[in-house]
A and B are shown apart, each in its own frame.
Chain A
Amino acid sequence: MKTNGYTIEALTSKWEDLREIKNLMGKYSMSVVLMRHRTIFKDFWSAREDVCLGFNHGYYKGGEAVREYYRSYGDSIMKTSGYMQKLFPAELGKLSEEELFGTGRFEMKPLTSPVIALSGDGETAKGLWCCLGAESGVDERGPLSSWTWGYCAVDFVREADGWKIWHLQALEDVKFLGGQSWGKVEEVYPPLPEFAELGDFKLPAPNVPRTVRARYGADRPLTPPPRIPEPYETFKKTFSYGV
């Protein structure tokens, strides 16, 4: 951000906006680690109806769709944990639902290399991060771990209680089983009868289904990252990470 022409107070205020946005995404990322999906929407997302959450296979558009995605994700975590309790009654049998929540699952999506643009009017901002992460869980194939490589692209809006997420794209180039190379064809593990119950649960489908980004394969054309934020005056004069 160019600093000429701003007062000390204005530069300080803008830096505090930058810090708050970075902290917001830090809290979001840590909430994923802590599996707080049941409260992520309330804690970090805007109250606007035109919020939007995008993945490689489509968008959840609108408050209800985004809220339902996170709620369902929380349900999927509980389903896994409940199943682990059945598998390991000696270790987990006496745990309450709250104590049990998250057992069998681990997900980390740390964010690096931020490029953040604050709007000139101070009402919105945009940010782009790299995300090298990992996921571990249990599904119908049994326990599995995957590496993920991708990007997180976010529009933010200032509301009465601080900066909030407005549009968020969580896009992956790679989601690959640990112990394998994403340069090769992934060896897919077959379903196991003892874990078949976990195959029944599906997250809700995006209400705007489309290929937002294809994952990497040896037959994928060069695919640039999401568009890098550029300085802008008002949100109408820049591009959106929403749909």
Chain B
Amino acid sequence: MYKLIQEYSEAELIQLVWDRENVQEVMNRRVYLSAAEGRERELGELWVSGREYQETASFGKNWGYYIGMAEIRRYYVDKRGQDMRKLLDAMCTARPELKDESPGYGCMSLYPLTTPYIEIAGDGRTARGLWYSIGQETTGNPKGTAKAYWIFQRIAADLVKEGEAWKIWHLAEIFDAHLEPGEDFRVQPRVLPKEEQPVEREFGEPTLKMLTHDARYNWLDGYPAMPEPYYSFKSSDSYGPEGHPHYYREVLAK
């Protein structure tokens, strides 16, 4: 069941219009905070703050989900900070003149959002959206050079309205390809062991390990699904782990 457009009053219609704009704005703000390595600020400003939502928040990639804000912080802020610090320490060991530099030296990333597809729930309390991102991740190294990748991925999110503000509740960054610019895409390996796959290595050890999307087969597994009009939130239809079509097979049946 979902609400038909004819059932909305004028006040509800304009609210619906602004809800869609505000959902998009939250996700766009995330683009810039992420590029600035402002992950702590992002979690504080853009993610859920209510306890019930914090416990069920999730951050998923092709290899599973971090569940709960504490786990998300463990990956998204703490691990990232440790990785950046370790990289800088390695750079400083090789090049002592960098000792006064800060983590992130020689690094750059950007994951812009395009092609928004957003549905606001009929009850106005949640929203879900799907975007495509043509992004890049560039990482410096102790030799003084850098490795750059195009990162093509789908970004899906459930958001919930806390007070007046939309907040991210479940996020899934499901990548299709990472490719080095300037090199023939046809000959770059599609399958790499975890220790050599930079995106998988970066994701670390999630709370729930499962294969959410096999990047070799594009949309064959249909994940993440495109949003459909809906009236109220159900976890089995969400971009959290319970909404994955294999959740029951991977988790409950074991």
Contacts and interface: CB of A to CB of B under 8 A. Distances in A.
A87 to B, nearest CB: 28
A190 interface: no
A1 interface: yes
A213 to B, nearest CB: 12
B182 A181 contact: yes
A228 interface: yes
State the majority secondary structure of interface residues on B: mixed
Contacts, number: 114
A96 interface: no
A100 interface: no
A182 B138 contact: yes
A225 B29 CA distance: 11
User: For the side of the interface on A, what is the size category?
Assistant: 35 or more
A184 B145 contact: yes
A112 B114 contact: yes
A148 B170 CA distance: 32
Given A180-B182, A216-B138, A112 B21 contact: no
A222 B110 CA distance: 12
A24 B135 CA distance: 25
Contact of A15 (B18, B38, B140, B145): B18
Contacts of B112: 112-113, 130, 132
B52 interface: no
Contacts of A193: none
B18 A1 contact: yes
Contacts of B211: none
Interface string B67-79: 0000000000000
A185 B182 CA distance: 12
Contact of B35 (A184, A221, A224): A224
A59 interface: no
B103 A222 contact: yes
A219 interface: yes
A218 B32 contact: no
A216 B29 contact: no
B14 A8 contact: yes
Specify which of A112, A223, A224 lies most central, judged by the most chain B CB atoms within 10 Å of its CB. Answer: A112
A166 interface: no
B24 to A, nearest CB: 8
Interface residues of B, number: 47
Contacts of A12: 14
B233 interface: no
B144 A219 contact: yes
Interface string B213-250: 00000000000000000000000000000000000000
A179 B180 CA distance: 10
B181 A180 contact: yes
Contacts of B114: 112-113
Interface string B23-45: 00100110111011110000000
B25 A224 contact: no
A11 B19 CA distance: 11
A95 B113 CA distance: 41
A29 B10 CA distance: 33
A218 B145 contact: yes
Nearest to A110: B114
A76 B134 CA distance: 31
Contact of B14 (A11, A116, A228): A11
Contacts of A219: 106, 144
B210 interface: no
Specify which of A112, A185, A222, A224 lies most central, judged by the most chain B CB atoms within 10 Å of its CB. Answer: A222
Nearest to B141: A218
30 contacts: A3-B14, A3-B22, A8-B14, A15-B14, A15-B17, A112-B114, A113-B112, A114-B28, A116-B25, A128-B32, A130-B112, A180-B181, A181-B180, A181-B182, A182-B148, A183-B181, A184-B145, A185-B145, A218-B140, A218-B141, A219-B144, A221-B102, A221-B104, A222-B36, A222-B104, A222-B105, A222-B107, A223-B108, A224-B36, A225-B36
Interface of B: 10-11, 14-15, 17-18, 21-22, 25, 28-29, 31-33, 35-38, 101-108, 110, 112-114, 134, 136, 138-141, 144-148, 164-165, 180-183
Q: Which 5 A-B pairs have the closest CB atoms?
A: A222-B104, A183-B148, A224-B36, A130-B112, A183-B146
Given A11-B14, A113-B32, 14 more contacts: A3-B14, A8-B14, A114-B28, A115-B32, A149-B110, A182-B138, A183-B139, A183-B145, A184-B145, A216-B108, A218-B145, A222-B102, A225-B36, A228-B32
